[in-house]
Every structure is written in structure tokens, then in C-alpha cells.
């Protein structure tokens, strides 16, 4: 049984793309493969014209760090660090020696968390954590931001704020946003919607061929 089969699509730089489908349809699996967190058993994934399937483990890590930003459903901030330290982490992992704190503070200001920066990540609300996660996803100025159910755990008012924030960031920074959601209605007008149909297999082998052009 294949979780994904004959999935082929391309995305242009700066587009906001939604991947929708019912629960268990393979949306997150697809996103994980685009994000190089999971590997297809067959097929190709092109990002920046490079077939990412052939990259080694360290290259994949560097690629994720430099080219991709992740926003998860449950924010996934590191509870041992402060909000600011969480946002700085991808830049530090990338080994940047620039004055990175200013960028992080600017981003946190942009997401409305300038007064929360020194709080421990587990001491802020869910909406605030998700906004901090967006700032963390954007700190390295990635070409592609991958968001897995970013509003799935939030109330409708906070969800609306997060959606608007992501859309404005995409426009402002000309970044590609690929968003997995089953709440299509929250996102309004977007550049592309890819539907993963029900009835696909969710276990075992899968085949994916996709090209993400940025």
C-alpha cells in the first residue's frame, strides 16, 4: 500500500500554496517529503533545480537549515529555551556569526511578541507560541516555508491572526508558503490549492514526483 502515488506538481517562488485533504489522506507525509524529513521510496523532489533525494544526511540538514522553514501544528518550541533563543536557534545551528539578535528581535516584533522575548517557551500561550514558531521558521530567510496545520490547535480568532501573518510575510519577503490544512476556509484567496484525495493508501510504500521551483 502506498501513502502517496503519482503526486506531481510544481510551485513557483512567492506562491502561497495550500495542500488540503481529509485526515489521513497523506498531506503531512507529502509535506514531510518536501521538507526532507521523510524520503520517498521512489520518485524525485526538485527544489531550486536540485534533486534533493540524492543528498546525504549532513547535506539534507544544511539544506533544511538554509532553504526551508518549518511551522508545526503544536509550535514545537524548545521548552528549555526562551522565545528569543528559540527564534535564534536555526541561525545558530547554521553557524552564523553575524549579529543575529537584531533580526530575531525584528521578527518577534513583526509577529507581536516583542514583550515576550525573554519568557520561557512553555510560559506563553498557544497563539503566542505559534507566532514565535513562525518567527523561528523565517529567521534564516528560507526560500520555502512549510507549515503543517499551523492553525489546527488554535481558536478561530488566533487562527485568523496567524493566517494573515503568514500571508503578509510571504508577500513581504517573497517566500513560498506551502501550508497543509484541513481548514481551507481560514486561508481565503491563495495562489494554488493541491488536493490530496481520500481513498489513497496511507501505509507502506509510496511514490512521489514533484518539482518545487523557486
Partner 1 sequence: MDYRLRLAKRMLFNKKGSLIGAVLAVTIGILVIHVNFVIFQGLFDAIVRDISEYRNGDVLVTNEDDYIDKSDSSLVSWFERISYVDAAAPRLSSTAEMEITKNGQRIEKTRIPVVGVDPFNDIRASTVHETVAEGTYVFSRNSIVLGNSVSEDLGGASVGDNVKVMIVDRWGEEQTKRFIVSGIAKSPGGQGFDYSAVIHIDTLRDMTNREDQTGSIMVKLNDPSKALEVKEFFLRSFPNDGFLAETIEESAEEQLAGFRSGIAMINMIGYFGMMSSAFAIVTIQMMLVNGKTREIGVMRSIGAKRKDILIIFIFQGMIIGAIGAGVGTAAGLGYTVYAKETEMSFNNSLPLEVTYNWEKIVQTALTSFVLAIIASLYPSYRATKLLPVEAMRTV
Residues that bind partner 1 (CB under 8 A): 32, 35, 37-38, 57-58, 61-62, 64-66, 70, 72, 76, 78-81, 85, 88-90, 92-94, 136, 140
CB closer to partner 1, 61 vs 157: 61
CB closer to partner 1, 136 vs 200: 136
What is the Cβ-side half-sphere exposure of residue 31, based on CA atoms within 13 angstroms?
Answer: 30
Nearest approach, Cβ of 114 to partner 1 (angstroms)? 22
Nearest approach, Cβ of 57 to partner 1 (angstroms)? 7
Nearest approach, Cβ of 208 to partner 1 (angstroms)? 15
Contact 212, 49 (CB under 8 A): no
Residues with Cβ within 8 Å of 152's Cβ and at least 6 positions away in sequence, in order, are 73, 181, 182, 183
What is the Cβ-side half-sphere exposure of residue 20, based on CA atoms within 13 angstroms?
Answer: 13
Contact 201, 1 (CB under 8 A): yes
Produce one character per residue of 29-52: b if its CB has 16 or more CB atoms within 10 Å, e if not. bbbbbbbbbeebeebebbbeeeeb
CB closer to partner 1, 60 vs 194: 60
CB closer to partner 1, 27 vs 136: 136
H-run or E-run covering 157? helix 156-173
CB closer to partner 1, 12 vs 42: 42
CB closer to partner 1, 61 vs 190: 61
Nearest approach, Cβ of 111 to partner 1 (angstroms)? 17
Could you tell me the three cell numbers for 137? 521558521
Nearest approach, Cβ of 82 to partner 1 (angstroms)? 10
Nearest approach, Cβ of 137 to partner 1 (angstroms)? 8
Rounded Cα–Cα distance for residues 16 and 197 (Å): 20
Amino acid at each position: 500500500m502506498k501513502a502517496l502515488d503519482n503526486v506531481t506538481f510544481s510551485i513557483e517562488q512567492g506562491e502561497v500554496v495550500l495542500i488540503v485533504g481529509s485526515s489521513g489522506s497523506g498531506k503531512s507525509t507529502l509535506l514531510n517529503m518536501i521538507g526532507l524529513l521523510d524520503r520517498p521510496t521512489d520518485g524525485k523532489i526538485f527544489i531550486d533545480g536540485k534533486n534533493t533525494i540524492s543528498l546525504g544526511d549532513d547535506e539534507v540538514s544544511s539544506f533544511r537549515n538554509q532553504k526551508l522553514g518549518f511551522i508545526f501544528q503544536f509550535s514545537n518550541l524548545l521548552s528549555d529555551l526562551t522565545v528569543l533563543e528559540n527564534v535564534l536557534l536555526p541561525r545558530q545551528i547554521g553557524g552564523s556569526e553575524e549579529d543575529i539578535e537584531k533580526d530575531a528581535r525584528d521578527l518577534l516584533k513583526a509577529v507581536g511578541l516583542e514583550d515576550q522575548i525573554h519568557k520561557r517557551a512553555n510560559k506563553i500561550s498557544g497563539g503566542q507560541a505559534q507566532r514565535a514558531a513562525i518567527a523561528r521558521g523565517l529567521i534564516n530567510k528560507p526560500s520555502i516555508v512549510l507549515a503543517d496545520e499551523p492553525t489546527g490547535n488554535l481558536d478561530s480568532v488566533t487562527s485568523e491572526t496567524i493566517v494573515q501573518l503568514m500571508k503578509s510575510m510571504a508577500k513581504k519577503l517573497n517566500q513560498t508558503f506551502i501550508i497543509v490544512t484541513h481548514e481551507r476556509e481560514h486561508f481565503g484567496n491563495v495562489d494554488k490549492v493541491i488536493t490530496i484525495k481520500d481513498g489513497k493508501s496511507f501505509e507502506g510504500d509510496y511514490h512521489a514526483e514533484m518539482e518545487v521551483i523557486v
